[in-house]
Structure 1
Amino acid sequence: MKKISQLLILALLITACKNETKQESPIVDEVKAEDITTSIYPESMAKIFDAHGSIDNWNKMQTLSFTMEKPNGKEVTTVDLKTRAELIDTPTHMQGYDGSSIWIKNKGDNENDGSRAGFYRGLMMYFYAMPFIVGDDGIIYEDAEPLVFEGKTYPGILISYESGIGSSPDDQYIIYYDAESGQMQWLGYTVTYGKDGKSKEFKFIRYNNWQTINGLAVPKSIDWYKYENNVPTEKRNTVEFTNIVLSEKAADASMFSVAEGAMVIE
């Protein structure tokens, strides 16, 4: 009887150990899932994301908003980062995208015909959300020739798109970054909206003024540069960003809906 009791206790102990092992396994799986997020990107691209607060943190965000000071007043952009719905509120008009339609509503006597609304949709958001915005699906990464500016060399990553991705799939970008820190320093970009085929002309923006919002490094300002032979030469102008919002809370979808009296562009 004593031997049977000992065997029974031993069996219970083995069962308990098995249950403990099963309870721990989801934690192991969770760690592996987190590792997969950055492993889908080239090592150099993952290094850039990490230098800016990580692509995992960025993917938690649902709303982005920023203000730019323009010659005619403030321009406020609000974007749903998951649906890419957008509202741009300027002193002269409002422009929106509800996920399917681009619309514009003029203010006062302004007569904006919306001819550039398609081109402008998402434009400044794209520049502001660098480098995280090039973590989207359907992107191809390749090494690019380094950029040498004022004696410093910046490694580069060429970003292009699979066919049918976005409104301008022939656009290309080159992110140039600091080799030691991984922080993004320059953006080379082409403009192909309304054109057929890729462009060989790269324009340049310098990113050297960062701020931390919600754990993510985002621009405080960016500088457009003049360029020659696909190389930046001298600063042309600076755009500053204020009132930054990066939130895990989704914006009210109704704010992107076609406003009463607005023109639907496309």
Structure 2
Amino acid sequence: MRKVFLLLIFLGHFSCKEAPRDNADKSNPQVLSTKIEQSKYPDALERVFKAHGGLQNWTKKKVLVYDLPKAGFTETHTTDLKTRMDKIVSSNFSMGFDGNHVWLLDKTGNYKGDPVFYHNLMFYFYAMPFVLADDGIIYGETTNLIFDGKSYPGVSISYHSGVGTSPKDEYFLHYDPQTYQMAWLGYTVTYRSGEKSDNVKWIRYADWMEVNNIILPKAITWHAYEGKVIKEAKNTVHFENVTLSESLKPDSFYAMPVDSKSVEMKQE
């Protein structure tokens, strides 16, 4: 009888030790999935997202709109943050991506650029660092970037084969080691050629503003460079009338206008 009594005490003690773990799992069923999701990104990049308002906050936004002043006219860029459909409207032309085709409306015939390359180009520069949370990305390490005697740690970004128009593009995000705000973006361009490039261009991110609790660029500046040696500023692009909405625009907003034409990638 004494052995049975001791066995019951042991089993009761074992059950009491296991119960808290079981209760914790049931009371917070998202703990495991959250840890798995966060493990997709390097710790430094997670901190950069947080410094700019947080990835969870960004994912609540549906539509980004901003004006891009040009010489003599202004472009208004609109992007659906989930589908990546987009539209650019100006007094000279309009273009966009309807989910299937890139289109151009240019009644004067004066637009000389490549809509396939340009329609979402500025969006990817502007929506940094959050576009670096997209699917299909490979994260790695890179050496620090030195500018004016200050060292900026970084994260390298490449893409799995078949992701996007230029999967061989590479990006290098460098951040302020004290604030974790994004400071520099290095990038290569492989569009049209399809070949990897060692020519890394550099953009400085030093002018920020808050839009609906997200920190976004007010302006970005391209610099001259020799490898990773950054030289003088060359060209600054300003962003105005920026809005981040949690309300979607109808798909018809991005649809090809009647007089527009579908365009394909230009060949070199």
Q: Percent identity?
A: 41
Gaps of 5+ in 2: 1-18
* 3-state SS, counterpart of residue 59 of structure 2: helix
1:175 counterpart residue number: 173
User: 2:166 touches 2:194 (CA, 8 Å); kept in 1?
Assistant: no
Once the 2 structures are TM-superposed, how far is the Cα of residue 34 of structure 1 from its aligned partner?
4.2
User: 1:38 touches 1:55 (CA, 8 Å); kept in 2?
Assistant: no
Which of 216, 219, 222 pairs up with 2:217? Answer: 219
How many residue pairs get matched? 244
Once the 2 structures are TM-superposed, how far is the Cα of residue 27 of structure 1 from its aligned partner?
4.9
* 3-state SS, counterpart of residue 29 of structure 2: helix
Which of 194, 197, 202 pairs up with 1:196? Answer: 194
* C-alpha spacing 1:59/1:123, structure 2 compared with 1 (3 Å): same
2:116 counterpart residue number: 118
Using the TM superposition, name which of 186-195 and 29-38 deviates more. Answer: 29-38
Once the 2 structures are TM-superposed, how far is the Cα of residue 232 of structure 1 from its aligned partner?
1.9
Provide the rounded CA distance (Å) in 1 between the counterparts of 2:139 and 2:123. Answer: 21
2:226 counterpart residue number: 228
Once the 2 structures are TM-superposed, how far is the Cα of residue 95 of structure 1 from its aligned partner?
0.5
1:155 counterpart residue number: 153
Provide the rounded CA distance (Å) in 1 between the counterparts of 2:31 and 2:95. Answer: 42
Provide the rounded CA distance (Å) in 2 between the counterparts of 1:70 and 1:26. Answer: 56
Provide the rounded CA distance (Å) in 1 between the counterparts of 2:78 and 2:35. Answer: 31
Amino acid at match of 1:128: Y
TM-score of the two chains, using structure 1 as the length reference = 0.86
2:7 counterpart residue number: none
1:264 counterpart residue number: 262
* 3-state SS, counterpart of residue 147 of structure 1: strand
Provide the rounded CA distance (Å) in 1 between the counterparts of 2:82 and 2:196. Answer: 27
* 3-state SS, counterpart of residue 82 of structure 2: coil
Amino acid at match of 2:178: E
TM-score of the two chains, using structure 2 as the length reference = 0.86
Once the 2 structures are TM-superposed, how far is the Cα of residue 231 of structure 1 from its aligned partner?
2.6
User: 1:88 touches 1:96 (CA, 8 Å); kept in 2?
Assistant: yes
User: 1:92 touches 1:110 (CA, 8 Å); kept in 2?
Assistant: no
Which 4+ stretches in 1 moved above 3 angstroms?
A: 24-27, 30-37
Amino acid at match of 2:47: K
* 3-state SS, counterpart of residue 250 of structure 1: coil
